[in-house]
Chain A
Amino acid sequence: MRSIFVGNPNVGKSALINKLTGSKLLVANYPGTSHKIAYVNKGEQCFYDTPGIYALHGQGGNAAVVRDLLLDSAGLRVVNVVDAANLERNLVLTLEILALGLPTVVVLNQMDLAASLNIQIDMEALSQELECPVIGISVADGSGFKRLLDWLDKPVETGRSSVDPRQIEKLSRTSGSPKCQHCTEACQHNVITIDRATIERARTLAAQVIKTEPAARHQTWLEKVQDGLDQPVIGTAALLALAYGLFTMMVTLVNLLEGPISEALQPLSDILTVLIQGLLPPGAFNEVLSLAIPEGLVIPFTIIMPAMIIVGVFISILEDTGLLPRYSVALERVTSFIGVSGQAIIPLTLGFGCRTPAIMATSLLPNAAERFIIATLLSIVVPCAASLGVMAAVIAKFNAYIYVVAATMLVVLLLLGFGLSRLMPRDESFVYELPPLRIPAWRTTWQKVVSRTGGFFTEVLPLLLLMNIVLRALMETGVLESFQAMEGFTQFFFGIPAEAMVAVLITIFQRYLAPLVLLNLALSPREATIAITMIALSLPCLPVMTMIVKEMGAKQLLSILALGIISSIIVGVSLNVILP
């Protein structure tokens, strides 16, 4: 049996499925978290999670994805998840769904939020008017779940399991070509959109079943904070201050933790060294491995792990509180400068955690051009948590100019975005719903942090170990010194020693490993600043490249790689000219 969960964005479809099945679909407090159909099996049932849509007969890719799933409707049931605090708007979609004639249940979610807003809904009257079961639930106290599970366990009544044929035609016409028989080009004449009658009906219905009007009541402190944050000047200043605070806290914490962690792991590293020295026959091989393995195992824990956890915690909190989408409104002028709509802030911020899921999150952008711009910026400019950790360590070691590094990255972000957007002129429009601020459910937020740092053991640790062995081998065998011939060239153009240039070249394999080479060199603050900035602004790591090919194609990846190399070179030369 298949059940498809459909509803407006951010009403809690994925969270409900997680609660029903124990699945771990990604949830966050902003519209557009789910951007693809996902399915979860529970016994003989299959639950489809869908991206949130405002209307079935709506424009945009998400509505088309849901319509396609509904068209393949044999044995399909619909669970329409509705935000109880926003009944009127949600009912438009409900009425469109009910017109399909599929077995449907309407689930009123966030009943606790509605109650806190003094909204009381006469569910019996609503059920009678809609001629379908209406179940009020609250994820917080678990009420209503029993009734919902019972409904889901009931077999589908025969004869009511496929879409009404007239509705099929309507659904496919919304998806189909917008050109009508009179026009030669795409036009709006044949497009089916939500009709006025449905909107009117939803309005009357909502007025009919909401028992108490929201009376005057005291604002909670959270609402006061929200009102403050949604003020243009004060709110934007507060959001920027918060971002700055989180950034400084991350850098400070990473530097503070490095010493103690490295001390704690020292005995382990010593044992490993002795073990390897004793086990392997003496020689160059022994020397390289006894140095590289303990070091390659310790460094990830001292500088990468803390950064991944700290950034993971920060991003998960920003997501789950509803603060993250507020940046998209506050910074809309900035994103408009780089030619993308405000919600682009969301993938850009996620990129500070890990850029692979961030590339996936670009699907919440309205068109391919914007997705390409953001994918490029993510690949070239935005440093992921692992890179941040390594960068922070290198910057601290050489006293490099952190503000020069940060400012250069910001300038490159703006210029690159601006340039790309002028190459792809188009009309961007921005409409975005701000979710209410919420206190996160700490358990789910923590689960998210755990899943975000999972890549540490599967990717960071093994790769770093391997790369460290290769690097050590290069250093011990003197291969690295043979690059000395390049010294004149690298010093003239970039103002850095040849070995540092090798580090820059290593980014081609794995960005966050490259700075490790720097750690073993003797660099002046100026040299370290230039080298680290060139590394920070170059190529994406392998998993990101794979994701770009999957989501956008190999051609786009090649353009991004070319842009990355060019930007790295330009940045190196410019800093060499500018810096005293």
Chain B
Amino acid sequence: MKTIKNLKTGDKARITSIDTEVAGSQQLVEMGLTPGSEIQLLAKYPLRGPLLVKLGNNRIAVDYKLAQALVVNEMNDSPARDVLDS
């Protein structure tokens, strides 16, 4: 299972599910980080710092623990990779 923590800075991905076991994950859904939405990882702050995610025209900072709840599927420019991944 891949979460946004596994993405590299600049990677685009689609959220596939939200791990509701992680405390505070409901907040993510309310802010629009819902399954199906496209995101881009803008920055990872060092020392287990927050992750900055781009959603539409929004920038949302999510702390390291909560980032675990965002399960994603990486999106690539070439559609062939998607087939390989699945």
Interface bin, chain B? 20 to 34
Establish whether residues A431 and B62, one from each chain, have CB atoms under 8 Å apart when the complex forms: yes
Q: Which chain A residue lies CB-closest to B22?
A: A429
Taken residue by residue from 1 to 43, chain B's Cβ proximity to chain A (1 for < 8 Å, 0 otherwise) reads as 0000000000000000000100110111111101011000011
Establish whether residues A433 and B59, one from each chain, have CB atoms under 8 Å apart when the complex forms: yes
Establish whether residues A232 and B45, one from each chain, have CB atoms under 8 Å apart when the complex forms: yes
- Residue A117 lies at the interface, judged by CB distance under 8 Å to chain B: yes
Establish whether residues A86 and B27, one from each chain, have CB atoms under 8 Å apart when the complex forms: no
Contact residues of A between 117 and 132, Cβ < 8 Å to B: 117
Using A88-B32, A89-B55 as known contacts, say yes or no to A430 and B26 having CB atoms under 8 A apart: no
Establish whether residues A341 and B30, one from each chain, have CB atoms under 8 Å apart when the complex forms: no
Establish whether residues A427 and B63, one from each chain, have CB atoms under 8 Å apart when the complex forms: no
A330 to B37 CA separation, bound complex (whole angstroms) = 26
Establish whether residues B50 and A329, one from each chain, have CB atoms under 8 Å apart when the complex forms: yes
Q: Which segment, of A52-60, A141-149, A247-255, faces chain B?
A: A52-60
Number of residues in A with C-beta < 8 Å to the partner? 39
- Residue A439 lies at the interface, judged by CB distance under 8 Å to chain B: no
Taken residue by residue from 54 to 81, chain B's Cβ proximity to chain A (1 for < 8 Å, 0 otherwise) reads as 0111111111011000000000000000
Establish whether residues B31 and A89, one from each chain, have CB atoms under 8 Å apart when the complex forms: yes
Contact residues of A between 229 and 244, Cβ < 8 Å to B: 230-233, 235-236
From residue A152, how far is it (CB to closest CB) to chain B in Å?
28
Establish whether residues B43 and A232, one from each chain, have CB atoms under 8 Å apart when the complex forms: yes
Inter-chain contacts of B45 with A (CB < 8 A): 232, 236, 329-330, 332-333
Which of A59, A188, A203, A231 is within 8 Å of B30, CB to CB? Answer: A59
A332 to B66 CA separation, bound complex (whole angstroms) = 13
23 contacts between A and B (CB under 8 A): A58-B26, A59-B27, A86-B56, A89-B32, A89-B56, A92-B32, A193-B29, A199-B34, A230-B59, A232-B44, A232-B46, A236-B45, A332-B49, A332-B50, A341-B63, A427-B23, A430-B50, A431-B61, A431-B66, A432-B60, A433-B60, A434-B52, A436-B57
Enumerate chain A interface residues (CB-CB to B < 8 A): 54-55, 58-60, 85-86, 88-89, 92, 117, 188, 193-194, 199-200, 203, 230-233, 235-236, 328-330, 332-333, 336, 341-342, 427, 429-434, 436
